[in-house]
C-alpha cells in the first residue's frame, strides 16, 4: 500500500478508535491533533480503568503483539516521507506535537546509559549529516534535532546536562579519551568536551586514522571515548561544483564508523559504538527537479535559515536554547540567497535539517 494511502487511512481510523502504529514515528507529523502513547501497557491500564477518559485521537507506538487485536494495526516500512514538500509544511506546523513523542537528541544520553556491560563506549559526533544520508545503513534510526539546526545547539543537546562523560563516570567508566580536529581553545569544542582533562584526555587530530592508532592505548578499565569529526557541513558552505553527497556519506559510514568497529574488534574489546550528528543539511535543489528555495530578505539576519534573537517575521518560529534566542525559518525559505559556492545550509526546520541519524553498533 502506498505511504500516502497508509497515512490517510490512519487519519480516518483515528477519528473512531485508537490505532497501533508500527512504522517510522516521525511520519506521524503529517497528522493533526494526536495523542501518542509510547507506554502501551500504561495506556491499556487507563482504558481498562472504569474512570472516565478524554476522547482523543490516540496512536499507540508498536511493536505489535497478539494482545493488540483489540485495536486496528497500521504498518508501514517507509523510512522517509513520500511527499517531502508536504511533510515539511506539516513538520513545521506540528513541531511541538512531534517533539513530545519522537526520539530526539536529548534522549541520546539516556539511551547510551541503558547498556553498560562492555569495556568501551564510543560516541562519534558528526558535524552535518542528515538521516536520509544513512537511513538505509544497518543500525540507523531517526533522531529529531530540538530547536535551531545549528552546531552550538545540536551537539549540546546530545552531550546533555550533566554531560554523558560524567554520567558514565558515575556508572564505572572512570577513563576517558577525547578526539577532535580542534583543541580546547575552541569555544564549542571546550563545551562539548566539558570534563575531559585537556592535558591527558584530549587529543587534537588532523585525520581520522590518528584516532584509530590512538585507540591502541585504551586503558584496561571501562572507558568512554568521544570523537568529534567533520561531516558534510564544511562542503555545504563552500565547494566548487555540486558536492558528491552520497559518496561522502558512504565514506563516513564505511571508512569512519565501521573502521572504529573493526579496530575495536581487532583489539578484542567489547564495545558499543554510537554515532549521531548535530544537524542535517538542506541542499540546493537540483535544477528543475525540486522546489526552489525562496528568499525573504531580512537584513537583521546574518544566516540563511535562522537569526540570532527574536524577529517577528513570516514563516518563522522562535526558540530559546542555552541562554540565547533564535528565529528559525520554515521550508523552503531563506533570509538571504546562497552564493555560487554554497550548496547547502541549515538552521531551520525541515526533514533534511531537523532529522539526523542515530546509530548503535555492537562489538562482541
**Statement to judge: residues 127 and 21 lie in one domain:** no
Please name which of 217, 225, 106 lies closest in space to residue 168, comparing C-alpha atoms: 225
User: By residue range, what is the domain housing residue 64?
Assistant: 3-78
Count of the separate structural domains present in the chain: 2
**Statement to judge: residues 64 and 202 lie in one domain:** no
Band (pLDDT 50/70/90 cuts) for residue 67 is low
**Statement to judge: residues 72 and 115 lie in one domain:** no
Give the mean pLDDT of 29-54.
89
Band (pLDDT 50/70/90 cuts) for residue 255 is very high
Q: Is the pLDDT of residue 3 over 60?
A: no
**Cα 328 to the center of its chain, rounded Å:** 17
For 32, the grid coordinates are 493533526
**Statement to judge: residues 21 and 143 lie in one domain:** no
- Give domain status of residue 323, yes or no: no
- Give domain status of residue 34, yes or no: yes
Between strands 324-329 and 306-308, the pairing is: antiparallel
- Give domain status of residue 257, yes or no: yes
The predicted structure's pLDDT at residue 1: 40
**Statement to judge: residues 154 and 266 lie in one domain:** yes
CA distance 204 to 200: 12
**Statement to judge: residues 357 and 208 lie in one domain:** yes
- Give domain status of residue 247, yes or no: yes
CATH number, residue 246: 3.40.720.10
**Statement to judge: residues 70 and 136 lie in one domain:** no
Give the mean pLDDT of 140-150.
98
- Give domain status of residue 24, yes or no: yes
- Give domain status of residue 290, yes or no: no
Report the first-to-last Cα separation within the chain, whole angstroms: 39
User: pLDDT tens, 320-332?
Assistant: 999 999 999 999 9
Q: pTM of the entire structure? A: 0.93
- Give domain status of residue 271, yes or no: yes
For 186, the grid coordinates are 575552541
**Statement to judge: residues 61 and 183 lie in one domain:** no
**Statement to judge: residues 203 and 160 lie in one domain:** yes
For 228, the grid coordinates are 568529534
Give the mean pLDDT of 267-274.
96
Domain boundary pick from 78, 94, 129: 78
**Statement to judge: residues 232 and 150 lie in one domain:** yes
Domain boundary pick from 15, 43, 78: 78
**Statement to judge: residues 69 and 151 lie in one domain:** no
- Give domain status of residue 307, yes or no: no
Amino acid at each position: 500500500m502506498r505511504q500516502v494511502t497508509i497515512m490517510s487511512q490512519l487519519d480516518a481510523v483515528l477519528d473512531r478508535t485508537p490505532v497501533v502504529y508500527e512504522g517510522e514515528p516521525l511520519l506521524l507529523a503529517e497528522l493533526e491533533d494526536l495523542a501518542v502513547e509510547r507506554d502501551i501497557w500504561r495506556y491499556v491500564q487507563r482504558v481498562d480503568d472504569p474512570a472516565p477518559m478524554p476522547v482523543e485521537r490516540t496512536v499507540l507506538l508498536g511493536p505489535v503483539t497478539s494482545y493488540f487485536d483489540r485495536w486496528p494495526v497500521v504498518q508501514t516500512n517507509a523510512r522517509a516521507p513520500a511527499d517531502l514538500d508536504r511533510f515539511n509544511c506539516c513538520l513545521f506546523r506540528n513541531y511541538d506535537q512531534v517533539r513530545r513523542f519522537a526520539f530526539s537528541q536529548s534522549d541520546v544520553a539516556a539511551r547510551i546509559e541503558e547498556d553498560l556491560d562492555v569495556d568501551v563506549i564510543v560516541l562519534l559526533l558528526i558535524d552535518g549529516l542528515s538521516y536520509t544520508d544513512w537511513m538505509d545503513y544497518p543500525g540507523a534510526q531517526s533522531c529529531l534535532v530540538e530547536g535551531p539546526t545549528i552546531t552550538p545547539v545540536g551537539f549540546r543537546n546530545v552531550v546533555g546536562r550533566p554531560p554523558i562523560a560524567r554520567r558514565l563516570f558515575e556508572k564505572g567508566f572512570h577513563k576517558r579519551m577525547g578526539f577532535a580536529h580542534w583543541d580546547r581553545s575552541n569555544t564549542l569544542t571546550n563545551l562539548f568536551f566539558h570534563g575531559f582533562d585537556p592535558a591527558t584526555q584530549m587529543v587534537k587530530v588532523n585525520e581520522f586514522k590518528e584516532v584509530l592508532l590512538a585507540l591502541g592505548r585504551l586503558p584496561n578499565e571501562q572507558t568512554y571515548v568521544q570523537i568529534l569529526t567533520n561531516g558534510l557541513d564544511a562542503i555545504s558552505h563552500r565547494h566548487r561544483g555540486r558536492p558528491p553527497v552520497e559518496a561522502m556519506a558512504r565514506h563516513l559510514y564505511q571508512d569512519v564508523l565501521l573502521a572504529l568497529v573493526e579496530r575495536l574488534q581487532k583489539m578484542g574489546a567489547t564495545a558499543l559504538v554510537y554515532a549521531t550528528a548535530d544537524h542535517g543539511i538542506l541542499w540546493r535543489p537540483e535544477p528543475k527537479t525540486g522546489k526552489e528555495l525562496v528568499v525573504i530578505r531580512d537584513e537583521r539576519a546574518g544566516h540563511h535559515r535562522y537569526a540570532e534573537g527574536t524577529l517577528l517575521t513570516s514563516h518563522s518560529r522562535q526558540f530559546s536554547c542555552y541562554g540565547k534566542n533564535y528565529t528559525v525559518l520554515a521550508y523552503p525559505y531563506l533570509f538571504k540567497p546562497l552564493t555560487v559556492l554554497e550548496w547547502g545550509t541549515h538552521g531551520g526546520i525541515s526533514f533534511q535539517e531537523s532529522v539526523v541519524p542515530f546509530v548503535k553498533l555492537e562489538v562482541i
